[in-house]
């Protein structure tokens, strides 16, 4: 009985420690989009508040504020790439699945 109770207590402690670790390292709402920005190398050309090769995310959000079709337009632009809107240097296409594209564009449009 003593060994069984000890085993249960140790197993329970390990499970609680695992849950606490998961809670401490769980992604915040901000983490998922910023991880995708890194995954798809968006930060090589864009920054939140300053122009690099391409426009700042805040500039993009300001330009499309109030445009009900902005999400669909920008998802397509990020997916296919393109140029001429922000200057002569074209943006290459992004090989991201639809769910990631939506998450990225929603985050970009939320930058104000």
Mean pLDDT in residue range 9-23: 44
Domains recognised in the chain with CATH numbers:
29-109 (1.10.760.10)
pLDDT in tens, 81-98: 999 899 999 999 999 999
Residue 5 has pLDDT above 90, yes or no: no
State the pTM of this model.
0.72
The Cα–Cα gap between 99 and 102 comes to: 5
Percent of the chain with pLDDT strictly greater than 90: 70
DSSP string, 48-92: SSSBSSS--HHHHHHHHTT-TTHHHHHHHHHHH-B-SSSSSSPBP
């Amino acid at each position: 009985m003593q060994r069984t109770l000890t085993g249960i207590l140790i197993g329970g402690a390990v499970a609680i420690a695992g849950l606490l670790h998961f809670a401490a390292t769980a992604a915040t709402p901000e983490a998922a989009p910023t991880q995708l920005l890194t995954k798809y190398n968006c930060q090589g050309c864009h920054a939140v508040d300053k122009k690099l090769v391409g426009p700042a995310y805040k500039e993009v959000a300001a330009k499309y504020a109030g445009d009900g079709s902005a999400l669909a337009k920008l998802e397509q632009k990020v997916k296919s790439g393109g140029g001429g809107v922000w200057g002569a240097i074209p943006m290459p296409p992004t090989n991201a699945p639809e769910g990631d594209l939506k998450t990225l564009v929603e985050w970009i449009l939320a930058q104000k």
